[in-house]
């Protein structure tokens, strides 16, 4: 359930670089399913995304 941001635009899903979503499933070793929701928690897109097209966001310090 990582929180991620898109590294590039996804016009087919009407998603832009920087949009934030939550990983909800692992489809295979290279692809995850990401849910994009509004401030009220309503999903507006669910898209399979390659792992290398995502930036995992961290809200607490982690050891490097």
Looking at residue 64, its pLDDT comes to: 67
DSSP 2-46: -EEEESS-BGGGTB-TT-EEEEEEE-SSSEEEEEEE-TTS-EEEE
pLDDT tens over the chain, length 64 residues: 899 999 999 999 999 999 999 999 999 999 999 999 999 999 999 999 999 999 999 988 877 6
Fold of 3-56: SH3 type barrels. (2.30.30)
């Amino acid at each position: 359930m990582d929180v991620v941001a898109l590294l590039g635009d996804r016009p087919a899903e009407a998603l832009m670089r920087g949009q934030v979503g939550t990983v909800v499933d692992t489809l295979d070793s290279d692809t995850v399913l990401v849910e994009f929701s509004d401030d009220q928690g309503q999903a507006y897109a669910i898209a399979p995304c390659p792992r290398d097209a995502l930036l995992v966001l961290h809200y607490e310090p982690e050891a490097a």
